[in-house]
Amino acid sequence: MRSILRILIYYISRFTQPNNSLLFQSYPDYSDNPYALYLYLLKRKEFKTYKMVWIVKDNEERIIKEMKKDNPNVIISHSSLKNWYYVLHSRFIFSSHASYQYLKFHQKTKMINLWHGMPLKKIGFDSTHNGKEEEGPDTTTIASNEFFQRCLSSAFRISPDKIKIVGLPRNDMLFEKSNILDSIVGKHSYNSIGIWMPTFRQTQYGDAFDTQLKDGDLDYWDEEILTKLNEHLSCTNSFLILKLHPADIFQKKTFLSYSNIAILKNKDTSHRDLYPLLGTMDYLISDYSSVLIDFDILGKPMAFIINDIEEYTNNRGFYFDNIKEILPGKIITQENELEEFIDHHDDFIIKTDDRFNKYKDCKNRERLTEILLQETNN
């Protein structure tokens, strides 16, 4: 089906010309790098005459209401035929998951794959079980430094010169003000507020998994572990936010309510608020998630729970030869170590220089926009 569509779109594109439309698509809807870039382009005078178009898969009223606050010119369902009109006529198509990367256009470069994080774990052609759709010749991609430029070149089978080292747009939002934290923790003054953001092991969509967590694992988040952790947080006047990965099968799990722990699922908060929230955190707990690369920009402490590292390495693999050596923080294996890190997190700051990010100046969107302007003038 995709092969037929690719041929059809290429043929039709011979008779269409890009207009002043910019097309945005992300997962979850209205989030991540496309959302961050969209907000920035709204403020740039060079794009004032452009029509901003969002493609969404979820027509949930809450999401549409959020979008209308920022006033995108057009909101279209992914299943609508009008979707293809804007695919053919937009000057640029921005995506967080390379949704249209299999297409080829008769027109000049227009696909901008913003992706959804720099990869520690192998993706694309380098992965054993992920999708292996090759990037089209009309695609430009972005990276945070030269190392990840090489990783993405390998994963997507794309020339390195098509991968621009500008940094991720969403990371500029780490420094933006937001009231989202008050809506989660209230007005109480805590000694520390941290966030725990693991990647998914098993997706809620289908049967694919990288490893399988079980009762008793620290990151299985069972009732006994969370209850003990909540008691410790309460005694130390600390608060912890557990943010589930959007695709995690734990999105379907029912959790208890806790006084000093907030568990955020897709339905509980807007994904567009995530990076301003992340910027306010005192520390991060994670694993192999690309969020650690983003959080590194802040220079704050991190810890990692990677008890399934051997299985994960065998099933998925990493771009680093020894993942333990490059993780910039404390590696946690037991509950008491988790509590120790929360209590003394400032003791575990590790400087990384440009290991993950060439730029830490909050100008990622500006650099990318300059490239877009060069393209529009060609």
pLDDT digits (tens, 9 = 90+) for 68-90: 777 778 888 888 889 999 999 99
Whether 157 and 76 share a structural domain? yes
Weakest mean pLDDT among 13-17, 39-43, 353-357, 371-375: 13-17
Residue 109 has pLDDT above 70, yes or no: no
Whether 158 and 264 share a structural domain? no
Query: What distance in Å separates the CA atoms of residue 108 and residue 125, rounded to the nearest whole number?
Result: 25
Residue 8 has pLDDT above 60, yes or no: yes
Q: Is residue 55 part of a domain?
A: yes
Whether 301 and 369 share a structural domain? no
Whether 55 and 132 share a structural domain? yes
Q: How many domains does the chain contain in total?
A: 2
Whether 184 and 161 share a structural domain? no
> Residue 81: what pLDDT?
87
Q: Is residue 159 part of a domain?
A: yes
Residue 297 has pLDDT above 60, yes or no: yes
> Residue 134: what pLDDT?
56
Whether 215 and 273 share a structural domain? yes
Whether 269 and 193 share a structural domain? yes
Query: What distance in Å separates the CA atoms of residue 241 and residue 355, rounded to the nearest whole number?
Result: 27
Percent of the chain with pLDDT over 70: 90
Q: Is residue 302 part of a domain?
A: yes
Global pTM value = 0.91
Q: Between 335-343 and 223-235, two packed helices, what is the crossing angle to 10 degrees?
A: 30
* pLDDT tier for residue 340 given thresholds of 50, 70 and 90: very high
Task: Enter the tokens of residue 282.
Answer: 């005192």
> Residue 211: what pLDDT?
62
Residue 302 has pLDDT above 90, yes or no: yes
Whether 55 and 177 share a structural domain? no
Whether 32 and 158 share a structural domain? yes
Q: Is residue 355 part of a domain?
A: no
Whether 63 and 29 share a structural domain? yes
Contact present, 211 and 220 (Cβ < 8 Å): no
Residues 6+ apart with CB under 8 A from 36: 168, 169, 170, 172, 173, 275, 365
Q: Is residue 356 part of a domain?
A: no
Q: Is residue 262 part of a domain?
A: yes
Percent of the chain with pLDDT over 90: 60
Task: Enter the tokens of residue 155.
Answer: 């994963």
Q: Show the domain range for 149.
A: 2-167+361-377
Residues 6+ apart with CB under 8 A from 57: 27, 29, 77, 78
Domain containing residue 267: CATH number:
3.40.50.12580
- Average pLDDT value over all residues in the chain: 88
> Residue 163: what pLDDT?
96
The sign of the torsion formed by the CA atoms of 294, 299, 304, 309 equals positive
Residue 366 has pLDDT above 70, yes or no: yes
Environment class of 33 (CB within 10 Å of its CB; exposed 0-12, middle 13-18, buried 19+): buried
> Residue 138: what pLDDT?
64
The 10 Å CB-count burial string (b at 16+, else e) for 5-14 is eeeebbeebe
Whether 77 and 120 share a structural domain? yes
Contact present, 290 and 96 (Cβ < 8 Å): no
Whether 261 and 370 share a structural domain? no
Q: Is residue 354 part of a domain?
A: no
Tens digit of pLDDT for each residue in 253-276? 889 999 999 999 887 777 788 999
Query: What distance in Å separates the CA atoms of residue 289 and residue 2, rounded to the nearest whole number?
Result: 30
> Residue 311: what pLDDT?
86
Query: What distance in Å separates the CA atoms of residue 176 and residue 31, rounded to the nearest whole number?
Result: 15
DSSP annotation string for 179-205: SHHHHHHTT---SEEEEE-PPPSBBSS
Q: Is residue 295 part of a domain?
A: yes
Domain containing residue 38: CATH number:
3.40.50.11820
